[in-house]
Structure 1
Amino acid sequence: MDPRIEEYLSENREHHLDELKQLLAIPSVSALPEHKQDIQRAAQWLAESLKRAGMEQVKVMPTKGNPVVYGEWLKAEGKPTVLIYGHYDVQPVDPLELWETPPFEPDIRDGQIFARGASDDKGQTFMHIKALETILRTTGSLRLNFKFCLEGEEEIGSPNLEEFVAEHKDLLAADVLVISDTSMLGRGKPAICYGLRGLCGLQIDVTGAKADLHSGLFGGAVQNPIHALVELLASMRNKDGQITINGFYDRVLPLTEEEKEAFRALNTDEEQTRKDLQVPDLFGEKGYTMVERTWARPTLEINGIYGGFQGEGIKTVIPSQAHAKITCRLVPDQDPEEILALIEEHVRTHTPPGVTVEVKRFDKGRPFITPIDHPAIQAAARAYEKVFGVTPAFTRMGGSIPIVETFDRLLHLPIVLMGFSYPDDNFHAPNEHFHLECFDNGLRTLCYYWYELEQAIG
């Protein structure tokens, strides 16, 4: 890498941080309608930032919801194209009283910048713009072609991005997609995420009598919907943590021996995790480690259960209804629609007598995985190692980023997840922050990566 790049990053560090503060000061909360104008402001700010960085054909493109910001630099004739994805919307800030400083008044203290969106995902998206700007300002050119797709609805599930990508496949066509919206394992422990779990959600509504009944007059004569719901839910998992839905595991891809060895090499301290969580024991599917359970095995979790009298004291009723909310984390090659259908069939065949049951479907997202031996992944590993001085871990993530699978399915390109935040950066929580060492090292890593990637696939 050209030594002028390191010098430029050092000389312009304070200027870059001042610019980042401007972006973080915009309250672009996608979940709240009152911030609609702030969403537009953030999109326009990013468009201007892309132009200043040297990107061309920059435009704020409408969707049925919040706009997508697009920009490109396509002057590396005959070279591959990189698509960079990020999001500029942020989570709500509640509870506000738990913030030490106002969430949209960025504050640098103790080597960290505090603001909503600092790590998720404005800070990391901003780094991509500055990395390319740095290379262009110092060398005058880029060795690869680049496109940006920056959206404003990720924090509400990207409801309009799939349609946008489908309609603009030619515009977004690329050879590799790079996303920085994940985290490292910890300080000095870079990680490349090569797999994400998928997601499906549903609600079960159990109905008995037409209204709540007096438990003295009707107890023992009619089915209690809460009892029926508990029985139904209990039938979905056994004491060994295995899901008993018929066919649930049929499409699950087993871990390779190489993956198992990579997971073991992380030396995850399960006992420390137990202590940190303050639980008497960890629990999960028998025969798997905690890392394997959370990264590479599917789950079925009851997220909420309610019905009957909830007030203080006792009210002697048999409730008319009971409800449960369930989500499943899915792994390759599970299909959310198929899993939902299997659960619905299980509900039909296991519904206790005396009640009717309705299932409502909610969020869906497919799992994603990229082979860790792909040249784009290996190039990322070399870039991390040059900056951090250690070989990065190859990890999966227990959570879900549904749009990643959408890009994979619609654009048919490898996806590299290069995160630079720390797991305890409080994303989605009060006092979200981004360590400045992550900002500095992330910028350098990205600059190295483009050189490594050009050597690998150019």
Structure 2
Amino acid sequence: MTSVATPIMNYPKLFAADPAGISAYLESGLAPVAELDALLSPLEAIDGFRIASQELQRSVRAGISLSNFFVKQRELGKIIKDLGLKQAQAIVEGAGFVSLDESPESTVSQRVAERYAQLLHAQSKMGPWIAELGELTKIPSISRLGETSPTIERSAEWVAARMRKAGFQSVKVLEEKGANPSVYGEFTTIDPKKPTVIFYAHHDVQPVGDNWDTGPFTPFVKGSRIYARGIADDKAGFMAGLAAVESFFETGVEPPCNIIFFIEGEEEIGSPNLEKFLKQLPEGLKPDVVILADSENVETGVPMVTTSLRGVASFLVSVRTLMGRGLHSGFYGGPVLDANTALSMAIAKLFGEHGEVAVPGLERPLLSRTALQNLMHSPFSEESFRKATGMVPSLRLIGNTGGSVHRRRWYDYSLSALALEGLQPIADATALITGQARALVSLRIPPGADAKKAAEIFKKHAEGLDVFGAEIRVDIRAGMIEPWQGDVNHPMVARMAEALTQGYDHPAILGGIGASIGFLDIFGRRFPNTALVPIGIEDPYTNAHSANESLSVDDWCKTIYSLILFFDCLGNPS
């Protein structure tokens, strides 16, 4: 891939060196990137600008709704617009901004010049794209098993309309009976002579839950992050891909590859109808690569191509200590074991001395040399890890001590008790020994292992535990997902890693994630000879599926640059 020597990550230097240009950008809106202060501070010599600018910067640091963030910028834009031309010109030029009309040296090829223009165009559009991402995020497109809703349909229609605006053709809202709609679209007519890429993201989101600091569907800016449900998982994935494609459309550059979008509406409930939806795609479609924009980066600012995921199996573990009614804890406490305690003891027996999963037969798979090398190059800071997870200071890390934290997260078994349920809620509890309790337990299964076999091994072992003779029953729940391993040596992986390296201005790494994504197996069956390349927009601070989900705006912008570069190099590999 031919590199482009342009300061695409230096926000202030890319804004037009004229008052009208600066005003236009502020009125359309800049993205809340980390460099925003560096852009605004040099302009504070302008009469009336300083107070409003500092107020905006304080608001961003403290937190402000995304809509008010753009309102305050428009006020700054009006101040510059109202200045006399000579005064404003002198101040703006003194700030050191260079013109957006500047281009690479005349000696470069037309292709490099076009790519340069696309990157500059993308830089100028980040604010408006963020505003549109905020609008999409306001749609509460929560997906639930067995239910459809008008908000999911509205979200799909929004996605389809936005794709048409970006120049997509053959845009369709795909439907299946009892399923949430997905969206399909082709950017320009498919040319069989060009390589083909399918870009995947999803527009459905997780339920909200409790403990949000702000309204979950009212995007909120704080620093260089935006908080809202679905902002990162995965509406930012869709908008990043769309922004990259629109950069071709609005600069009049024909992409050197066929680009197809498939935006799902059921990922958050396990993609139960994805196989049916993929059958609606054109017959004979043979993509060269599928980009799946629903993974994560190992650290903020460090891009990663995901090369493996763990599988998952869930279990309902039920414990019974009494045949029928409960007993008075004062009369019978001591000789009679209550079910809640028995359940806790049973779960504890599934762990070893260091908190590792201690189930005979669930052995750690051997790692390939490539996986070991990837682990060596994956950055880790325990301080950052603790900060991102919110661990209490006294809590020690658990797991096999013979491996790094990344190895424990990506390539080892883990066990989590997701929910415990007894017969008495705490608010109404009496002095009663209860005879039944149950827990929902999740087992993550490393790449190289078989999820079905692992689930049977776990079931047999857990049911055979001796907790003072308590009855233990384990039911394997539906929704099991097998682990996944990508082909790390596939040329498409290398191309994506190079595009991410340029777009982020940081070496990309190849690594695993500990989560489980069912759609990879489905895509693999539908397109058996196609490279599947998951990339991430989420980072350790995203808090996906939990309260205060957030997006790093800087990383989102860099992902857009990376996708522009990848689409370009897919059809121009040199």
Which TM-score tier does this pair reach, normalised by the shorter chain?
A: 0.7 to 0.9
Matches within 5 A, 1:9-28: 9-28=122-141
Is 1:268 matched up with 2:268?
no
Taking structure 1 as reference, are residues 267 and 82 closer, same or farther at Cα in structure 2, changes over 3 Å only? closer
Match for 2:500 among 384, 387, 402? Answer: 384
**1:403 Cα offset (Å):** 1.6
Listed as ranges, the matches of 1:3-402 within 5 Å are: 3-31=116-144, 36-63=149-176, 64-73=178-187, 74-95=189-210, 98-99=213-214, 102-108=215-221, 110-165=223-278, 170=283, 173-207=286-320, 208-215=322-329, 224-226=338-340, 228-249=342-363, 253-270=365-382, 273=385, 277=391, 278-307=393-422, 311=426, 316-350=431-465, 355-362=470-477, 363-402=479-518
Q: Distance in 1 between matches of 2:417 and 2:291?
A: 34
Find the aligned partners of 1:204 and 1:37 in 2 and give their Cα distance: 36
Amino acid at match of 2:398: F
The residue type equivalent to 2:239 in the other structure is: F
Residue deviations 1:129-182 (CA, integer Å, cap 9, x gap): 121122133244221122221111222222322443367584764221102222
CA contact (8 A) 1:224 1:318 kept: yes
Q: Report the 3-state secondary structure (helix = DSSP H, G, I; strand = E; otherwise coil) of the residue aligned with 2:418.
A: strand
Preserved CA contact (<8 Å) 2:156 2:203: yes
Q: Structure 1 residues 68 and 173 mapped into 2: Cα distance closer, same or farther (>3 Å)?
A: farther
Deviation at 1:206, TM superposition (A): 1.7
CA distance in 2, matches of 1:321, 1:327: 20
Alpha-carbon distance in 1 for matches of 2:427, 2:235: 44
Contact 1:196 1:369 in 2 (8 A): yes
User: Which amino acid letter does the alignment assign opposite residue 291 of structure 1?
Assistant: H
Contact kept in structure 1, 2:202 and 2:266, CA below 8 Å: yes
Paired residues of 2:300 and 2:552 also in contact (CA < 8 A): no
For residues 132 and 314 of structure 1, what CA distance do their matches in structure 2 show? 58
Kept after mapping to 2: 8 A contact 1:29/1:92: yes
- Structure 1 residues 113 and 321, CA gap change in structure 2 (3 angstroms): closer
Contact map agreement 2:299 2:379 (CA 8 A) in 1: no
1:404 to 507, 520, 528: 520
What is the Cα deviation at residue 320 of structure 1? Answer: 1.5
Deviations 1:98-153 (A, max 9, x none): 20xx4334355644444332222112211111211221332442211222211112
Structure 2 letter corresponding to 1:261: Q
| Alignment gaps of 5+ in structure 1 | none
User: Which TM-score applies when normalising by structure 2?
Assistant: 0.71
Choose 27-36 or 209-218, whichever is displaced more.
Answer: 27-36
Where 1:44 maps in the other structure, the secondary structure is: helix
Q: Tell whether the 8 Å contact from 1:228 to 1:351 is kept in structure 2 after alignment.
A: no
Q: Which residue does 2:77 correspond to in 1?
A: none
Q: Which amino acid aligns with 1:49?
A: R
Aligned partners of 1:281 and 1:431: how far apart in 2? Answer: 25
**Contact kept? 1:201, 1:327, Cα under 8 Å:** yes
Q: In 2 relative to 1, CA 401–279 (structure 1 residues): closer, same or farther, beyond 3 Å?
A: farther
TM-score under structure 1 normalisation? 0.87
Structure 2: give runs of 5+ residues left out of the alignment.
1-111
- SS for the counterpart of 2:149 is helix
Could you list the per-position Cα deviations for residues 345-394 of structure 1 after superposition, in whole angstroms to 9, with x for gaps in the alignment? 22343355754433232242111121322211110111122222221122
> Which one has the largest radius of gyration?
2
Distance 1:48 1:184, change over 3 A: same
* Contact 2:174 2:277 (8 Å CA) reproduced: no
Go from structure 1 to structure 2 and tell me whether the alpha carbon gap of 1:128 and 1:273 turns closer, same or farther (over 3 Å shift): closer
| Cα shift readout 1:376-433 (whole Å, capped 9, x = no counterpart) | 1110111122222221122211122222232223322321122234321343344433
Structure 1 stretch 286-295 or stretch 337-346: which is displaced more?
A: 337-346
Of stretches 165-174 and 45-54 in structure 1, the one that deviates more from structure 2 is: 165-174
1:8 Cα shift? 2.5
Q: Which has the higher contact order (CA 8 A, sep 6+)?
A: 1
1:445 aligns with 2:558: no
Distance in 2 (alpha carbons) for counterparts of 1:58 and 1:313: 54
Change over 3 Å in CA distance of 1:271–1:446 after alignment to 2:
closer
Aligned to 2:534: 417
CA distance 1:162–1:335, change in 2 (3 Å): farther
Note the C-alpha offset of 1:81: 1.6
Alignment coverage as a number of residue pairs? 453
Question: Partners of 2:541 and 2:508 in 1: how far apart?
Answer: 18
391 and 212 in structure 1: CA distance in 2 versus 1, 3 angstrom threshold: same
Aligned amino acid, residue 552 of structure 2: H
Shift of 1:344: 2.0
